[in-house]
Amino acid sequence: MDEEIEQRLPLPNKQGGEMMAIVDQHMGGGRLRVICEDGKERLARIPGKIKKRKWIKIGDLLIVKPWDFQNEKADVIYRYTPTQIANLDKRNLIPDSLKVFL
């Protein structure tokens, strides 16, 4: 049963440069200020497919991918639901640097 949950819960691809982040502020125009697990604040862009399907609020846990050529900017890859956040927390998969904000 646990293996099934493991498959359904997306985790950041560390080799691909993805990381977890918390939404700090809405900037307008599909942009957010996020605090990443490495301690840096970045300006994150919400792609259209996520913008249309999911509302992103302040305090949400996201997966972001920093840009290769501008490290202070990132793209939003995924938004976790409150149930998924509880599941990640129970399995100690949320970085300690972000637990302060949840």
pLDDT beyond 60 at 30? yes
Residue 64 CB partners (closer than 8 Å, separation 6+): 18, 19, 20, 21, 34, 36, 42, 44, 74, 75, 76, 77
Cβ neighbours, 10 Å, residue 41: 13
**Sorting pLDDT into bands at 50, 70 and 90, what band is 100?**
confident
Q: What is this structure's pTM?
A: 0.88
CATH, domain range 2-99? 2.40.50.140
pLDDT of residue 8: 78
**Sorting pLDDT into bands at 50, 70 and 90, what band is 69?**
very high
Mean pLDDT of the chain: 90
Rounded distance between C-alpha atoms, residue 89 and residue 40, angstroms: 22
Of the chain, the percentage scoring pLDDT greater than 90 comes to 80
CA angle 77, 94, 61 (to 5 degrees): 40
